[in-house]
Structure 1
Amino acid sequence: MRHIRLLAATGTAVAALALTACGGNGTGTEDEGAGLPTTPTASAEQAASKTPQAGTGGRTANGTPVTRTHAPDPRPSASPATRGSQGGTRAGTSGGSGASVVLCNGANTTVTAQPVARPLNHMLITVKNTGGKTCELPYYPVLRFDQMQWVPQADRDTQPQAVVSLAPGESGYAGVLLSAADGSGTGGMTARKLTVGFQGLTPNSSGGPSATPSLPAKGVYYDSSLKVTYWQQEMDDALNW
């Protein structure tokens, strides 16, 4: 009888241990990770694969289209003025309009030099625009007879109000005082060749190719009184000075 009671007590203890291992609630054995969320958390790699990435294009792993984005360009955009300078410009402009100036010179004109009866000891230089664009004649002609080593100066009183501008087919003029009428000039000589130089948009700069108009067969006499006018729009202004 005593042996039976001992066995019963032992069975009761074993049952109690089993209930303790099950949490004491009879629901069955719990996982060793008790207290953690039952839904697994997505890994960082999985999360990244579902997030649209800028600039990748295509679609995400779940099929959602990815909108392509671009980072802003760090370089400043060029202003129109800068582009203009980068593209390159001519040395001068006309009237502030930004249009390129075409200079009259030996390449786009025909030039003649002809002594006149009145005024006495004068010669007329005529420049005709034979090009397809309007050209300008800044300042005054740079004359050289034969191999002369000096440049005749211009009479300041003949400077016009505006630069002479020649449309295609039009002519401009300059007058030349060859020698003093009263004989006061010195170093007189007869020239057989004349070179007419053209100035650029700044004084004494080159305006392009020169011209070599023909002189009379007997040549042209000049002395130290030699001087020229500024370029003129009208013939009378080139001679009446």
Structure 2
Amino acid sequence: MRTFRSRTTVLAAAGAAVLALSLTACGGDDSGAKSAGTATATETTVSSDKAAGSSDSTDSTAKNGDSAQAAKASADGKQAAAAAPACTTKDVSLSAARQDGPPYTHIVLTAKNTSGKTCTMTGFPEIQFLESHKQNVPAVAKSKPASPVVLKAGAPAYALVKLSDGGVDENNEPVSAFSVTLQGGGGMAAVTAPGKGGIAVDPAKALTGYWTYELRNGADDF
């Protein structure tokens, strides 16, 4: 009987020990899962922050790149202009055409490089429409391009010229031809006005734009 009781006690003790170990193991697994979950959430947050930071950095780099390219283009244009001499009236052919659409208050002045070499159209055309008004037509500052207009052989440059406001009560005078002086020592040439009857000019309202590669909305609206 004693032997039976002793064995029973030992088995009971062993069972209690196994149960304790099982409980401990379960508790350890739960804690580990919680720790793993916390670590995963933390890593996700950090990764998101890094991604956002990377996106901001990319946007900033792109903007800086655009500014740098614009500055480089302007610098290249100025260097090219410095290397190419000013266009003269012997280098270009000058012509005038009405701008499309009524009331025909503007003409477009075109200078085409016929010299076979590169030259620079400096500033704006100095225009005198009438013998009775010797002053040059004023230039519109907003039409000035960022860099000088460098014309390769055969290339054109343009300048928009305002004749009047299109009103019936203006002091318009008929003009069949007018003079254009090229800045930078380019000389002067006579240009035939477009149309059989020429053009009507109000000297008080006339304006000219700078030489540009092409007419631009906004900058050349005046």
Question: Does structure 2 conserve the Cα–Cα contact (< 8 Å) formed by 1:108 and 1:131?
Answer: yes
Q: Name the counterpart of 1:192.
A: 176
Letter matched to residue 129 of structure 2:
F
Q: Name the counterpart of 2:158.
A: 173
Higher relative contact order (CA 8 A, sep 6+): 2
Q: Name the counterpart of 1:156.
A: 141
Q: Name the counterpart of 2:86.
A: 103
Higher-helix-fraction structure: 2
Q: How many residues align?
A: 141
Q: Name the counterpart of 2:97.
A: 114
1:1-241 map, 5 Å? 95=78, 100-118=83-101, 120=103, 121-147=105-131, 148-182=133-167, 186-200=170-184, 207-215=185-193, 216-223=195-202, 224-236=204-216, 240-241=221-222
Question: Does structure 2 conserve the Cα–Cα contact (< 8 Å) formed by 1:125 and 1:176?
Answer: yes
- How far apart are residue 96 of structure 1 and its match? 5.4
Q: Could you report, residue by residue, the CA deviation over 1:173-196 in whole angstroms, capped at 9, with x for unpaired residues?
A: 000110013457x53211121111
Structure 1 residues 225 and 234: alpha-carbon distance in aligned structure 2, compared to 1, 3 A threshold: same
- How far apart are residue 210 of structure 1 and its match? 1.7
Structure 1 residues 150 and 95: alpha-carbon distance in aligned structure 2, compared to 1, 3 A threshold: closer
For 1:169 and 1:97, the matched residues in 2 are separated by 17
- How far apart are residue 240 of structure 1 and its match? 4.2
The runs of at least 4 consecutive aligned structure 1 residues that moved more than 3 Å come to 94-101, 235-241
For 1:116 and 1:232, the matched residues in 2 are separated by 16
Unpaired segments ≥5 residues, structure 1 = 1-93, 201-206
Unpaired segments ≥5 residues, structure 2 = 1-76
Letter matched to residue 111 of structure 2:
V
SS at match of 2:161: strand
Letter matched to residue 139 of structure 1:
G
Question: Does structure 2 conserve the Cα–Cα contact (< 8 Å) formed by 1:125 and 1:175?
Answer: yes
For 2:172 and 2:127, the matched residues in 1 are separated by 16
Q: Could you report, residue by residue, the CA deviation over 1:113-167 in whole angstroms, capped at 9, with x for unpaired residues?
A: 1112337411000000001221111111001114132211011111111111110
RMSD between aligned residues: 2.5
Q: Could you report, residue by residue, the CA deviation over 1:31-65 in whole angstroms, capped at 9, with x for unpaired residues?
A: xxxxxxxxxxxxxxxxxxxxxxxxxxxxxxxxxxx
- How far apart are residue 101 of structure 1 and its match? 3.3
SS at match of 1:196: strand
- How far apart are residue 236 of structure 1 and its match? 4.3
For 1:192 and 1:217, the matched residues in 2 are separated by 8
Structure 1 residues 178 and 99: alpha-carbon distance in aligned structure 2, compared to 1, 3 A threshold: closer
Letter matched to residue 153 of structure 2:
P
Question: Does structure 2 conserve the Cα–Cα contact (< 8 Å) formed by 1:119 and 1:240?
Answer: no
For 1:101 and 1:110, the matched residues in 2 are separated by 18
